[in-house]
Amino acid sequence: MTYFAGVDVGSLSTDAVIVDEAENIVAYAVVETGANSTDAAQRAMAQAAQKAGLTPEDIARTVGTGYGRVSVPGAQKKVTEITCHGVGSAHLFPQAQTVIDIGGQDSKVIRLGPGGKVSDFVMNDKCAAGTGRFLEVMAAKLQVGLDQMGPLSLSAQGEPVKISSVCTVFAESEVISLVAQNHPREQIIKGIHKAIVNRVWNMVKSLGEPGVTTMSGGVAKNKGVAALLEERLGAKLLIHDEPQIVGALGAALLARRQA
């Protein structure tokens, strides 16, 4: 059996996926990127290989993606995360027409054409607004874990408070003011999520009618954000059990298809 790997080096996490010749996911790993992208790529690959009972030498071909794709040791090719998220999403959900990916430092909306090829996209990578980093800062300010943000948002009663800015610096000041005014934490969190969704929704609309939509990236695990996006879509989002690995999966599939 021959195996292929994809490694997605993001700003917050680095993900590795190994697939076999039939394009089945054999194993995957998600690690924190930390201060060294090359080290993160090596750790992710080592963990994924160990889970699969393989050694790095068993991997026939590797493709790197993500902002740190140039740092993936041994990668025969580097591919943009736009292409890889498109390929990975189309593999998991062949019916998908639009991909919403909210990562650690950027957010993007990708329109898929026939065969899962990227036909158009829009990306916000100028600041941390509407990204996983934005949520991290807000969670720290509200003294809650990231994994608590979704459930707390869903439990909010009444209308969420309005967060007028998604600039991390200005929004943090707004949150401080709202806390001082004793607004319920749940309503503040839902307001933060709504601000993110408003920003992403403008990106979705810029590409036209979204149709069947899937969501990838770490923020897809946040059920509060996903629920608000589904309200806008008027339909359920398609979300994989581990949405963080979609980009790495796309890279692994490209390694397989380009072998």
Each residue's pLDDT tens digit in the chain (259 positions)? 899 999 999 988 999 999 999 999 999 999 999 989 999 999 999 999 999 999 878 999 999 999 889 889 989 999 999 999 999 999 999 999 999 998 877 889 999 998 789 999 998 866 656 677 888 888 888 899 989 999 999 999 877 788 766 666 667 778 788 887 888 889 999 998 998 898 899 999 999 999 999 999 989 999 999 999 999 999 999 999 999 999 999 999 999 998 7
- Percent of all residues in the chain with a pLDDT value above 90, rounded to a whole number: 67
142-165 pLDDT, tens digit each: 899 989 999 999 999 877 788 766
Task: Provide the pLDDT for residue 1.
Answer: 86
Show the tokens assigned to 175: 């949150």
**Phi (first) and psi of residue 39, to 5 degrees:** -65, -40
Q: 3-93+243-258 adopts what CATH topology?
A: Nucleotidyltransferase; domain 5 (3.30.420)
- C-beta neighbour count of 170 within 10 angstroms: 13
Show the tokens assigned to 15: 């993900």
Select from 78, 77, 31 the least CA-distant residue to 50. Answer: 31
d(CA 152, CA 148): 6
Q: Which CATH class is domain 97-239?
A: alpha beta
Q: Residue 118 pairs with which residues in a beta bridge?
A: 112
Domains 3-93+243-258 and 97-239 share a fold: yes
Select from 86, 50, 94, 48 the least CA-distant residue to 65. Answer: 86
Q: What is the pTM of this model?
A: 0.90
**What are the extents of the domains in the chain?**
3-93+243-258, 97-239
